[in-house]
Structure 1
Amino acid sequence: MVLTLMALFFSAFTTVVLGIFVKHRDTPIVKANNQNLIYILLISLIFCFLCALLFIEHPNSATCVLQQITFGVVFTLAVSTVLAKTVTVLFAFKVTTPGTRMRYFLVSGVPNYIIAICTLIQIILCTIWLQFSPPFVDKYVHSEHSQIIIVCNKGSVTAFYCVLGYHGSLAIASFIVAFLARNLPDTFNDAKLLTFSMLLFCSVWITFLPVYHSTKGKIMVAVEVLSILASSASLLGCIFIPKCYIILLRPERNSLQKLREKTSS
């Protein structure tokens, strides 16, 4: 019940944040952070929180397949969007440099291609997983308490770690690009928030692996759900809460005049 309430709360909270950004879409802080990428990231985070419910639900053949495939695809969509945002921050600064050709990359929509290509690769990995060794319903006998616990067996452990490793590689790439762009001028700089969010995201999943291997049965599922909620919340909190604070509580900072002052300084 606690995990279910947490998943529903965070998904509802993310929906509220999405509503705030849609309502204030004409303000400078929203426009400066690429509206389309913001919407894609927030919608993917909503599904990230909701996909935790698939792990809590009573296991059957459909949910065992859906929980892993949904987890793989929506997290790839979220992390690849963060990667696209970090690349956009870097390109946006390079555009202001005289003689640069980076403007072509922004105008041609390269960040959107990053999201599409990264997500397509994950879909291919998941398709191979389903083709050769899909998840299935399994039983775990808890001899100490004389219980039989129904769980979802991941099928191919190698495929599971390929999906998880792909998330990790995208997160590390996002962290590196954001770290390199962290000292760019404040007008364009969303990189510090992105760097910290990727640092927390990676920390959650690095912590997840040893804990996951040391547990069994329903505790293993609880650890996986907590990791999903914590990593999604880290992206939501680090990237969007500071912007919501400015939009709702410090509207004087959300103005073109303020942006011009930062640019001139």
Structure 2
Amino acid sequence: MPLSPLPRIIIEPLVRAALQEDLGLAGDITSMAVIPADHHSTMVFAARQAGVVAGLDAAELAFQLVDPAITLTRKLDDGAAILPGDIIATVSGPSRGILTGERTALNFLGHLSGIASTTAGLVAAVAGTKAAIACTRKTTPGLRALEKYAVRAGGGMNHRFALSDAVLIKDNHVAIAGGVAEAIRRARAGVGHMVKIEVEVDTLDQLREAMEIGVDAVLLDNMSPDELREAVGIVAGRAITEASGGITPDTVAAVAASGVDLISVGWCTHSAPSLDIGLDVVETAA
């Protein structure tokens, strides 16, 4: 599926906030003191390690908001695999502006590329199975749209974006409602016919209870591959099966082999290491 870019109206407030945080009350006093106002440079975003690119729109916007005279020319697109030394994009224009936007651009590009790279590793690990890798709502406050976009750049898919997207009945909902079946009944009575309902189950008995009343999806929480395989048999195609909880790069293949439809992983957004990308000067002129 082609990777659709996020609308600028979503990205721009996030980039503006990051720039304002970095500029403070006086702006980039180092570049203003050291770099002549009429100096121009060409620099390149260069990969320091292998991975997958994501975040070029945010990086480009960081420079444009600082100085519209700065241009970013892409050599690769979001979703592209990179190796150490690969040139991702070229940035040209007034040197002061490039240096002022550098850190904000690199923060977005490195962070989002790290998420895309982590996701791509999980996707590769489950290749040959029907399981898709999905992210969760365990995202950096304020950056959810960008981080979920990065998951898609890495070949993963998105779980719900917000509490209003779909019903997900979790263990605490079940405990307060008095059981799986009662929680599902209340949910079905409380939302419209267009809203999907998923319920989290911790045991196979809870799963059987959920399937008796019927749901759109079941979240199989912290189950072993053998339990997951049995759960898939119980569901028998009547609902989407999602495995979650305690899944690591070492265990994800075994989880996928159980036959589940989805594997949701929170740490692909909240704990993915930033991909090492540098901005290097290749040409300067007064």
TM-score when scaled to structure 1?
Answer: 0.23
Task: Indicate the structure with greater strand content.
Answer: 2
Specify the structure having the higher radius of gyration (Cα).
2
TM-score when scaled to structure 2?
Answer: 0.22
